[in-house]
Amino acid sequence: MKRHLLLPVIGLVVLVVSVLFYSNQSNNKNNSRDEVSSLIFETSDFYNNKLINENTLGEFYIVNFFASWCKPCLAEHPLLMEMKKKGVKIIGINFRDDEENFKEWINEHGNPFEYILRDDGTIAYEMGLIGVPETFFIVNKIIQKKIQGPLFYEDIENYL
């Protein structure tokens, strides 16, 4: 009888040991971070060279990643302009872009952003960016919603 039991017991012991051994390895099942990367408040604005003060942003603001080489960004651009008119504060983060192209793009299509940061990819990495455009809705300093790809009216109507 003992023989019959020994093998499963050994298997079980190995399993338990490996569970204990590896259980300290990342147990974090949280897929995305819920706070904005502090880098946003440590990088100075492209136009007026000042840091953004988180406290002046208010209860609700939006972080939008964009680039001049990204075609879907143009699709959501009118929507962003409209939001600006309604008084929503948008932080635009220019993701991996050529400076000249970026300036031209803003001049041509208009500037919907309260602040513009230029990012070589570091902020994007910290924020878990997958592609441009990507938009983060921040309420009370917590990321409430994340939209990958261009925005549609349905995405923002609750926030207006």
Partner 1 sequence: MKISKIIYKLIIPFIIIHISVISFAGVNELSDYFKTIRCLVCEGQSIQESDTEFAINLKEQIQKKYNSGIPIKEINRELIKIYGEEISFDPPKNHILLWGTPLIVLIIIFIFIRNKIRFFKRV
State the residues that interact with partner 1 by CB under 8 A.
Answer: 3, 6-8, 10-11, 14-15, 18-19, 21-23, 25-33, 95-96, 120-122, 124-132
CA separation for the pair 76, 65 (Å, rounded): 11
Query: In the bound complex, what is the minimum distance in angstroms from residue 4's beta carbon to partner 1?
Result: 8
Query: In the bound complex, what is the minimum distance in angstroms from residue 58's beta carbon to partner 1?
Result: 26
CA separation for the pair 92, 88 (Å, rounded): 12
Nearer to partner 1, 47 or 125 (CB): 125
CA separation for the pair 133, 151 (Å, rounded): 8
Nearer to partner 1, 83 or 136 (CB): 136
DSSP 51: B
Query: In the bound complex, what is the minimum distance in angstroms from residue 20's beta carbon to partner 1?
Result: 10
Nearer to partner 1, 15 or 160 (CB): 15
**CA 105 to the chain's CA centroid:** 22
Mapped onto helix, strand or coil, the DSSP state of residue 147 is strand
Query: In the bound complex, what is the minimum distance in angstroms from residue 21's beta carbon to partner 1?
Result: 8
CA separation for the pair 59, 142 (Å, rounded): 10
Nearer to partner 1, 33 or 141 (CB): 33
Cα–Cα nearest to 106, from 73, 134, 62 = 73
Q: For 49, left (φ over 0), alpha (ψ -120 to 50), or beta?
A: left
Nearer to partner 1, 12 or 160 (CB): 12
Query: In the bound complex, what is the minimum distance in angstroms from residue 54's beta carbon to partner 1?
Result: 20
